[in-house]
DNA sequence: CCACAAAAGATTGTATACAATTTTTCTGAA
DNA sequence: TTCAGAAAAATTGTATACAATCTTTTGTGG
């Protein structure tokens, strides 16, 4: 599988060019190449992708619905920033959803689907071995998303999609320097339990797994607020 | 509270005119004045509300993201139809989310918030007594939504919002002639349990409540013809 | 040099024009 | 009549023009 797969089924097929842009922006978020606070100018994006603002606007609105960008009237779109309290809520929501997902997966998942998930784990380890943290993080997210998709509830899967992408933003905003967001051995263990149909164990492992991710984030505000350095020295402005 | 409240906080304040149209369409869905399969022509809606297709398009895309309308390329938007399997998934998702909501509510809810919910139950009973089934259904939905909002997790609340609206569509599509979707005594009992802080009881009652709603739907397909302008005529001046 | 107001510039909000596609209507023949 | 196919109409997809608002720069007085 190539580096830039379709990132889980994002909806229907046969869509317009907005779908392409959406995928690219979404993937960039999942790989943390777009970090919270980044401004997404309609004109810039339009020129970048060779489309008019109409298309860009559609994409930005969709991303805003998903919660990964914030749009404020007359002030445009930025990659969403997450407060510490919101981060707590995201992990709580993930736990509620993913425990249900795991329960369903233990009953509904097929052998070939399980095989696919194992392949993702292997791919993720490979990326991590190559120090490609962005790709590893995206693959980790995709594992959770495919698991949800295979559990047989498209609504839970769709919701989890927005939670996982938001998690990427949270990690980008808060995580300490050492970045190993999802211990891959845990992924493997969860899949083992699901494959064995051991619902109780799978649920327990998934709960612990999410707790571990949450434990890694550091609630001190790492965002550069109106920088002190900016107050004392006129810093340059990018682009 | 008047008949046409803001229907739970739908997001940010200070929004454009699209917010108004969105509210009206969403309320019409919650009150089942818009039923599954109804075609939503961009031009018709635009003339109806006195805005250009640009605005209508924004609204339709948002509704599509929430899952209450379906958009197919070059074929426009219709109120979403739900398959029997999807309906099953919606109720499963609601159960997963609302049980978590109830657990949190038992710990986080305040006295004044609980008072508000009790008032909603009373209002719903009143509407039912006046044979205003549409309003009763909307109030029932708002009860569930406010409960989620008060539980202290905006992400779960937002997800539940789309599930509840989808439920209105499911009921409109499938429910038998006798329409009493949410036995109000059950609502009261759930609030009692939450007020008493009895988590186990509250969870049990909510689970049973959702099961009862699901049990009422009837998977036989029932079609219905649309009439667009009449639906919004009471709130809009121009034909 | 700083504070502050006004103008210039940049960005977003909305409407409209045109292109692409689908749906409907019309025509003719089996 | 009924069917196929083409023209006509209607509807959606996209780009662009202009209006509204915000941001930055500039100019002036203290």
A155/B73 touch (CB, cutoff 8 Å), yes or no:
no
Q: Quick check: B21 contacting A, CB < 8 Å?
A: no
Amino acid A177: pLDDT:
59
A and B: number of Cβ contacts within 8 A: 69
Give helix B154-174 / helix A84-108 axis angle, nearest 10°: 50
pLDDT of residue B232: 64
**pLDDT at residue A71 is higher than 80:** yes
State residue B237's pLDDT score.
37
| Mean pLDDT (whole number) for A109-129 | 96
Residue B72 — φ and ψ, nearest 5°? -115, 140
Task: Pick the more confident residue, B53 or A16.
Answer: B53
pLDDT at B2 (0 to 100):
34
Instruction: Say yes or no to pLDDT of B5 above 50.
Output: no
- Who has greater pLDDT, B234 or A239? B234
A189 to chain B, closest Cα gap in Å: 24
Say whether pLDDT at A227 is over 50.
no
A115–chain B Cβ distance below 8 A for any pair: no
Lowest mean pLDDT among B81-95, B106-120, B148-162, B221-235: B221-235
Q: What is the mean pLDDT of chain B?
A: 87
Task: Show Cβ contacts of residue B116 under 8 Å, excluding neighbours closer than 6 positions.
Answer: B146
pLDDT at A35: 92
Q: How far is the CA of B42 from the C1' of D3 (A)?
A: 33
Residues of chain B with Cβ-Cβ distance to A153 below 8 Å are 89, 92-93
CB B69 within 8 A of CB B40: yes
- Separation of alpha carbons B33 and A73, rounded Å: 31
Q: Which has more confidence, B216 or A228?
A: B216
Q: What is the mean pLDDT of residues B93-105?
A: 97
- Write the pLDDT tens digit of every residue in B116-174: 999 999 999 999 999 998 899 999 999 999 999 999 999 999 999 999 999 999 999 98
Greatest mean pLDDT range, A1-15, A74-88, B179-193: A74-88
Percentage of residues of chain A with pLDDT beyond 90: 74
Give the pLDDT band (50/70/90) at residue A225: very low
Residue A78 has pLDDT above 50, yes or no: yes
- Nearest neighbour of A96 by CB, restricted to B67, B100, B154: B100
Question: Cβ of A96 and B93 within 8 Å?
Answer: no
| CB contact B67 to A (< 8 Å) | yes
- Which residue from A179, A176, A205, A184 is spatially nearest to A193, judged by alpha carbons? A205
Which residues in chain A have Cβ-Cβ distances shorter than 8 Å to B90? 155
Q: Answer whether residue A61 shows pLDDT above 70.
A: yes
| Set of chain A residues whose Cβ sits within 8 Å of the Cβ of B66 | 65
Q: What is the mean pLDDT of chain A?
A: 86
Which tokens belong to A222? 């790492």
Q: Is A232 on the interface with B (CB under 8 A)?
A: no
Confirm if B36 and B173 have CB atoms less than 8 A apart.
Answer: yes
Q: Do A96 and B163 touch (CB under 8 A)?
A: no
pLDDT of residue A12: 39
Cross-chain Cβ contact B156/A89 below 8 Å: yes
B185: pLDDT strictly greater than 60: yes
pLDDT at position A218? 76
The answer to whether B73 contacts A16, with C-beta atoms less than 8 Å apart, is: yes
Is the per-residue pLDDT at B97 higher than 50? yes
Q: Is the pLDDT of residue B4 over 90?
A: no
Structure-derived torsion over alpha carbons of residues A8, A12, A15, A21, reported in degrees to the nearest 10: -30
Min distance A122 CA to chain B CA atoms (Å): 30
> Among partner residues A61, A96, A153, which is closest to B61 by beta-carbon distance?
A61
Give the span between the Cα atoms of B20 and A217, in whole angstroms. Answer: 39
**Cα–Cα distances in angstroms (integers) from residue B11 to residues B6, B7, B15, B195, in the given order:** 11, 11, 9, 28
The pLDDT, as a whole number, for residue A157 is 97
- pLDDT bucket at B202, cuts 50 / 70 / 90: very high
Mean pLDDT (whole number) for B65-83 = 96
- Which stretch of A30-44, A165-179, B10-24, B165-179 has the lowest confidence by average pLDDT? B10-24
Among A1-10, A131-140, B68-77, B209-218, the minimum mean pLDDT is found in A1-10
Strand C CB-contacts below 7 Å:
A 39-43, 53-54, 57, 71, 73-77; B 16-18, 51-55, 58, 74-75
Structure confidence by residue, pLDDT tens digits, B6-35: 445 444 346 778 999 999 999 999 999 999
Nucleotide of closest approach to A15 (CA, C1'): D13
Flag the least confident range among A93-107, A212-226, B57-71, B205-219: A212-226
Per the structure block, which two tokens stand in for B106? 């038992």
Helices A154-174 and A84-108 cross at an angle (nearest 10°) of 140
Q: What is the residue-wise DSSP string for A49-86?
A: HT--HHHHHHHHHHHHHHTSEEEETTTEEEEPP--HHH
pTM metric for this prediction: 0.88
pLDDT value at B66 more than 50: yes
**pLDDT confidence band for A230 (50 / 70 / 90):** very low
Which residue in A14, A89, A159 is closest to B153 by CB distance?
A: A89
For helices B154-174 and B53-66, angle between their N-to-C axes, nearest 10 degrees? 90
pLDDT at position A181: 60
């Amino acid at each position: 599988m190539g580096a830039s797969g379709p990132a889980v089924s994002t909806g229907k097929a046969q869509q317009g060019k907005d779908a392409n842009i959406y995928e690219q922006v979404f993937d960039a978020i999942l790989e943390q190449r777009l970090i919270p606070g980044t401004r997404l100018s309609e004109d810039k994006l339009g020129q970048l992708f060779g489309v008019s603002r109409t298309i860009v606007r559609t994409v930005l609105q969709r991303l805003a619905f998903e919660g990964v960008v914030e749009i404020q009237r007359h002030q445009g779109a930025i990659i969403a920033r997450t407060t510490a309290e919101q981060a707590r809520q995201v992990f709580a929501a993930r736990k509620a959803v993913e425990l249900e997902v795991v329960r369903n997966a233990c009953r509904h998942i097929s052998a070939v689907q399980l095989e696919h998930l194992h392949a993702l784990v292997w791919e993720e380890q490979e990326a991590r071995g190559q120090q490609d943290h962005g790709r590893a993080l995206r693959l980790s997210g995709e594992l959770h998303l495919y698991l949800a998709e295979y559990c047989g509830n498209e609504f839970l899967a769709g919701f989890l999609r927005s939670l996982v992408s938001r998690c990427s933003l949270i990690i980008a905003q808060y995580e300490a320097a050492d970045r190993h967001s999802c211990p891959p051995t845990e992924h493997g263990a969860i899949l083992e339990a699901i494959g064995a149909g051991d619902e109780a164990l799978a649920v327990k492992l998934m709960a612990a797994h999410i707790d571990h991710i949450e434990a890694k984030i550091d609630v001190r505000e790492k965002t550069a607020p109106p920088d002190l350095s900016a107050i004392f020295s006129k810093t340059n402005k990018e682009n």
